């Protein structure tokens, strides 16, 4: 721990609430808060001390955390005191709906009939043959399967979580939802879920991302959402969305799209995305009578990776491989490889690995896959790295573009540039695997949104 920087960040995010020595009563979306709190400038947490580890009764329980949003030293609630009650009320509601038959039945039906689940586990035969040929193996080589989240309604895995959380917002009596988005996939999913459930929706999006993904902006507006531009990128949009939520606690629900933020936000997103891994286990059993040998997913902040990994945490014979964005190279400073080169700190309400300088100031991330441009990762992803349960590697912008083009040509599937980072790592992974090994790559989104970027930065001129 002596070599690790720990910086507590985020106070400016909540200055709207810093009225010292004033007792307030708050209501969260119509649900009265049970306690009064003195608001102060001090960041507080009711979680266990830093460095504490949950009681280890078995491997699965250890890996799934202590039940209070802590995974080893990661996670927690680093927020102003006035937010503690809203977060506790949200946690209580989430705990209730997890075991509420009516809620779960409605969600299951919506995932089937509205989202289009279950998504296929597709055998990529030509991609498998490609790697067999370049590896010059005498056997059959590993078999590559794609978990086709790109076929979900709205084109990515994001709808799984957006729908579940929007249903919670409706139960809490919220009249309005706010969200932040990078590439726009979470924004579109949130806008669609809110339209379905008749909830007002506001999505914050960075100006640079708006320029790159104008089609998603139009989709959000068509779905009835108000899109507000924020100078910068996804991290700046996230900060502004949280500020807006904090200033409107009585009527507004903050719908997080990924496994970051104060507890219970990472846990909620993880659980709603866990349908990916549950389906994968069942489909693998049907297709070849066993489990995958290796699971591969891209990692920005971590929702699609955890959605695939969670079901298999207790299966030590299943390798979990996450692939971060190396951007223009780790030495260039223009990347989003938090786990590869980051340090531990607190940002947006929880402790995790972050991209930060020697003074603890957050560094600007970069990736050709805009959805991977976040300067941190979720607390559970951080713990999977530190515990050694999962392996993490990187792929550059150019490697992701090449992988996108390869899958498009061989399988007729255009993957999102985010998912293309996971596909790019197959170049290094496949030659190390035994013949017949089953590899599942999470194809977390489709690449329609990235066509302009591919033309400008990746496609050969002969294709333009």
Of 12-21, 273-282, 405-414, give the lowest mean pLDDT range. 12-21
Please answer whether residues 86 and 33 qualify as being in contact, where contact means their C-beta atoms are separated by less than 8 angstroms. Answer: yes
Which residue has better confidence, 367 or 53?
367
Segment 177-199, tens digit of pLDDT: 999 999 899 999 999 999 999 99
Q: What is the model's pLDDT at position 41? A: 27
Q: What is the mean pLDDT of the chain?
A: 87
Q: Count of CB atoms within 10 A of residue 248's CB?
A: 17
How far is 420 from 410, CA to CA, in rounded Å?
Answer: 14
CA 150 to chain centre: 15
Residue corresponding to tokens 């209501």:
27
Q: Do the strands 438-443 and 143-148 form a parallel or antiparallel pair, or are they unpaired?
A: parallel
Q: Is the pLDDT of residue 139 over 80?
A: no
Q: What is the model's pLDDT at position 212? A: 87
Q: What is the model's pLDDT at position 239? A: 93
Mean pLDDT of 289-311: 97
How far is 225 from 236, CA to CA, in rounded Å?
Answer: 19
Strand ranges (DSSP E) for 299-400? 319-327, 343-347, 350-354, 390-396
* pLDDT band, residue 347 (cuts 50/70/90): very high
Contacts of 187 by beta carbon, 8 Å cutoff, 6+ apart: 179, 180, 181, 203, 205, 216, 217, 220, 225, 227
- How many residues are given for the chain? 464
Segment 55-78, tens digit of pLDDT: 333 455 556 778 788 999 999 999
Go through the domains of the chain in sequence order and give each one's CATH number. Answer: 96-101+157-269 (3.40.50.1100), 118-155+272-463 (3.40.50.1100)
Q: What is the model's pLDDT at position 134? A: 85
CA 314 to chain centre: 21
* pLDDT band, residue 138 (cuts 50/70/90): low
Mean pLDDT of 429-437: 95
Mean pLDDT of 79-106: 94
Closest-CA residue to 269 (of 351, 149, 378, 112): 378
Give, in order, the Cα–Cα distances in Å from 455 to each of 62, 188, 292, 449, 452: 46, 23, 35, 12, 5
Mean pLDDT of 134-148: 86
Distance separating the N- and C-terminal Cα atoms of the chain: 51
Q: What is the model's pLDDT at position 38? A: 26
Segment 367-377, tens digit of pLDDT: 999 999 999 99
Closest-CA residue to 86 (of 261, 315, 323, 339): 261
Q: What is the DSSP letter of 143?
A: E
How far is 439 from 284, CA to CA, in rounded Å?
Answer: 10
Q: Is the pLDDT of residue 11 over 70?
A: no
Helix axis angle, 397-411 relative to 417-424, nearest 10°?
Answer: 90
Mean pLDDT of 114-133: 97
Q: What is the model's pLDDT at position 457? A: 73
Mean pLDDT of 32-45: 29
Q: What is the model's pLDDT at position 137? A: 63
Mean pLDDT of 257-275: 96
Q: What is the model's pLDDT at position 143? A: 97
Q: What is the model's pLDDT at position 62? A: 59
How far is 234 from 37, CA to CA, in rounded Å?
Answer: 31
Q: What is the model's pLDDT at position 48? A: 34
How far is 152 from 273, CA to CA, in rounded Å?
Answer: 12
Mean pLDDT of 318-322: 98
Q: What is the model's pLDDT at position 437? A: 97
């Amino acid at each position: 721990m002596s070599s690790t920087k720990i910086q507590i960040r985020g106070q400016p995010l909540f200055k709207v609430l810093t009225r010292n020595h004033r007792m307030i009563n708050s209501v969260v979306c119509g649900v009265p808060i049970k306690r009064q709190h003195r608001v102060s400038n001090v960041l507080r947490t009711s979680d266990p001390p830093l460095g504490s580890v949950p009681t280890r009764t078995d491997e699965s329980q250890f890996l799934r955390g202590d039940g209070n949003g802590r995974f080893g030293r990661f996670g927690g609630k680093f927020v102003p005191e006035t937010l503690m009650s809203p977060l506790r009320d949200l946690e209580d509601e989430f705990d209730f709906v997890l075991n509420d038959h009516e809620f779960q039945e409605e969600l299951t039906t919506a995932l089937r009939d509205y989202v289009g689940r279950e998504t296929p586990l597709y055998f990529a035969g030509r991609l498998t043959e490609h790697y067999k040929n370049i590896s010059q193996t005498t056997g059959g080589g590993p078999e590559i399967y794609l978990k086709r989240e790109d076929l979900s309604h709205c084109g990515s895995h994001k709808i799984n979580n957006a729908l579940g959380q929007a249903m919670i917002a409706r139960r809490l009596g919220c009249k309005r939802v706010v969200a932040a988005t990078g590439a726009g996939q979470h924004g579109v999913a949130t806008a669609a879920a809110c339209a379905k459930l008749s909830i007002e929706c506001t999505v914050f999006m960075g100006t640079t991302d708006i320029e790159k993904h104008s089609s998603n902006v139009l989709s959000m507006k068509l779905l009835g959402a108000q899109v507000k531009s924020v100078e910068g990128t996804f991290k700046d949009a996230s900060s502004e969305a949280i500020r807006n939520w904090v200033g409107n606690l009585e009527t507004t629900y903050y719908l997080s799209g990924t496994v970051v933020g104060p507890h219970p936000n990472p846990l909620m997103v993880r659980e709603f995305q866990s349908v990916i891994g549950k389906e994968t286990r069942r489909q693998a059993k049907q297709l070849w009578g066993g489990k995958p040998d290796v699971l591969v997913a891209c990692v920005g902040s971590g929702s699609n990776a955890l959605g695939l990994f969670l079901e298999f945490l207790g299966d030590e014979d299943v390798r979990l491989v996450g692939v971060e964005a190396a951007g223009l190279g780790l030495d260039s400073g223009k990347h989003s490889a938090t786990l590869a080169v980051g340090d531990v700190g607190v940002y947006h309400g929880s402790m995790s690995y972050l991209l930060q300088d020697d003074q603890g100031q957050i560094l600007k991330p970069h990736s050709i896959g805009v959805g991977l441009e976040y300067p941190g990762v979720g607390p559970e992803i951080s713990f999977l790295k530190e515990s050694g349960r999962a392996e993490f590697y990187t792929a550059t912008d150019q490697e992701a573009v090449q992988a996108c083009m390869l899958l498009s040509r061989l399988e007729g599937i255009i993957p999102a540039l985010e998912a293309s980072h996971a596909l790019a790592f197959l170049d290094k992974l496949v030659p190390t695997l035994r013949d017949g090994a089953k590899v599942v790559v999470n194809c977390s989104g489709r690449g329609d949104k990235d066509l302009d970027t591919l033309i400008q930065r990746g496609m050969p001129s002969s294709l333009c």
